[in-house]
Chain A
C-alpha cells in the first residue's frame, strides 16, 4: 500500500511538472489527476500535494474542485453513468430512465454500487438533444434511451 501511494504521488508530481511548463492550467491538471485514480476522484492526499506544489492554499483548491460537477471528492465506481438532466431531455422522459436506472443499479444519484462498478450521476446538456433522453457511460453516449433498452446498454459494462 505504502509503495502504491508513493507511486501515485510520483505520477501526480509528474503531471504537475508537465503543466508547470505551460502556465498551470489548473482544471486540465485536475482532470488528468482525477483520471489517474482508479476510483475516479480527487482524494485529499492528491489535493494536499497539488496545494503544496502549486503553492495554492488547500481551502482555495478544495473550493474550486467542489464547484465543478465533473470533479468528485468522493471515490466513484469504475463506470460513471451520467443521465442528461437538461430541460430538453426531460421533455422526453429522462425521469423515467433515471428511475429505471436507480432501480436497476439499486442506488440514487451521486451514489456508487456496493461492488464499486457504477456511479450514477446527473449530467448537464451533452448537445445530443435530438436523441433525447441521453445517457452517457464513461465516454460512450447512448441516445433515445428507454427503460427497456437499459439492460442491453448496461450489460457490456457489468463485471464478468
Chain B
C-alpha cells in the first residue's frame, strides 16, 4: 500500500462543481505532477462542508481549509504548501466578520469550535464514492454490532432510550415509530428514507447524501433488522442528481461487500435498498404523500389515521425516517443511549444539522448540539448581520417553519423551549432577515409558494391559501381595511384547523405568526403605505 505525505481533499459536491471544482482538481493534478509530487500527495474527492464561496480544499495533516476561486492561485499553493510546507494564508478560509480585539483563532477552530460534527462526521473527510474510506472511519461497525450481538428489540430499545426524535420536522420519537412497525403483524415491511428535501432553504440532507451516502444505507439496514423489514427505499428529490448517483453507487458497493442484499455479514438477515426519485413536488416530503408518490401515483397526502407505521407503502407497515434521523442511528447503536443522551438537552438529545443563510455573514451547513440559542448561531457561528444592520427576525425551519422575532432570539433550539414560544425547529433551516426586509412581501412570497405546491386535494388548503394570498396582496397595495386583518386571521385559523396535511397547516401558520409578531407593519402598510423594503405597491413616500 502506498503511503502519501499529504492528503488533499477536494469537495466535488454539486455546488462545488459549478464553482469549477473539476477544473481546479485538474489544475491541481497538473501542478502536482509538474512539481513531481504525485507519489507524495494524494487527491481525494469529498463532499463540501457547506462553505459557500469557491471550492473547498482540505489538506491533511493539519486539516487546513483553502477556498479556491481562481485556478491561477494553484501553482503558488502547490509550490508553497505541498512542496515547501508553508500554508498559504491568503487562500485560507476566511470570514467576513467584525474585527475582534483578541487574536483571531485559526480557521479550523473558528468553524469547528462551536460545532459538534456527529451526523456530518465523515462529510468532507472521506471519499463518498469509496466504501473503503467509509469502512476505515468505523463504517458498517454499527451494522455489524447490531446483526451479531443485538436482538431487534434491543436495538429499538436503545433508540428509544436515546430519545432520538425525528429530524424531518414533526419530531416524532423514532424508536416508538420503529416499535409500531415491528409489532405490526403484517408483512412485508418497508423502510423508507425520506430524502425529498424540498423545504426552501434546507440542504442538510443533500450534504449528507453527497458526502456520506453509506451512513444512510447502514442505518436503513439496521432499521430493517430492528423492525423486520426486508426492503428499503430512498426517495430522493428529482432535482438531486448527484445524490441519486452517489447513493446508487454506494448501494452497489455495499452489495458487493455483502453489506446489503442476501444474508448480510452471514447473519441470515437479508435486506435491500432501492433509490427512487421524485419529480418536482414539495408536498411529497409529507410521509403519506411520499408513499403515494413511491407507489407511482400523484403525490397527495393520505388521511391519518391509519399511520404509515402500520398501513404504509402498498398498505404494509412502513417506517419513514428522514435522512438526518437515520444518520443519528449509527452512533446510538455504536456508543449507546447514555453516551448519546449526553449531547443536547432534556427532551432534545443529540445534535441538529442546520443551514444558515439569508442576511448573515457566514452561510452554510452547521451542526450543533441541541440547546444552542439562535443568537449564538447567528452571531457566533454566523458572525452576525452584514452591514451592521439589526436583525428583524429569523425564519426557523424553512418556509413551513416558524417566525422568530428578534426579541425571542435567545430561545435555545430544543423542542421544549421552542414550543414555549409556539414555534418548532422544522427542517433546521435558519433564514435571517434584517431590518430592511418587509414581512408583508415575505408572507406574500411564502403564500405564493404554498399555493403553487398545494396538491389541491382538500378545500381549505387549495382554496384557502389562494384567498389568503388575495388578502395579503391587498395589504401590500394598502387596499384593505384594518378590520379585515381579523378576518384573515380567522381564515388562517380555519385553514390550520381543517387542512388534511401539514402543508396547509404550515401555510396558515405563516399568516398567523406574521400577524402575531408584525401586525403593526401590516397596519402601517394599510394606513400609511409604509413598507420597510420599499417593495410594496402602496408605498406612498415622496
Contacts and interface: CB of A to CB of B under 8 A. Distances in A.
Interface of A: 22-28, 30-31, 56, 60, 63-64, 67-71, 85-91, 122-131, 139-143
Interface in B239-262: 239-241
B298 A63 contact: yes
A31 B279 contact: yes
22 contacts: A23-B274, A25-B274, A25-B296, A27-B278, A27-B293, A28-B277, A64-B296, A64-B297, A69-B279, A70-B238, A70-B278, A85-B448, A87-B446, A88-B399, A88-B431, A123-B239, A125-B202, A127-B239, A127-B240, A128-B203, A129-B358, A139-B241
A-B complex: 5 closest residue pairs judged by Cβ atoms:
A127-B203, A26-B296, A70-B280, A69-B280, A68-B279
Contacts, number: 120
Interface string B354-376: 01011000011000000000000
Interface in B268-318: 274, 276-282, 293, 296-300
A68 B152 CA distance: 38
Interface residues of B, number: 48
Contacts of B293: 27
A70 B298 CA distance: 13
Contacts of A122: 452
A26 B278 CA distance: 10
B52 A86 contact: no
B198 A125 contact: yes
A96 to B, nearest CB: 11
Contact of A88 (B197, B297, B358): B358
Residue from A24, A139, A140 whose CB has the most chain B CB atoms within 10 Å: A139
Contacts of B539: none
A125 B277 contact: no
A26 B279 CA distance: 10
Nearest to A30: B279
A87 B206 CA distance: 19
A63 B296 CA distance: 11
A87 B445 contact: yes
Given A127-B206, A131-B52, A67 B296 contact: no
B18 A140 contact: yes
B537 to A, nearest CB: 13
B116 interface: no
A125 B280 contact: no
Given A86-B201, A87-B399, 20 more contacts: A26-B296, A31-B238, A60-B297, A64-B296, A68-B281, A69-B279, A70-B238, A70-B280, A86-B449, A88-B357, A88-B399, A91-B437, A124-B198, A124-B200, A124-B280, A125-B198, A127-B203, A128-B203, A129-B200, A129-B429
Contacts of A22: 274
B357 A130 contact: yes
Contact of A91 (B238, B277, B358, B449): B358
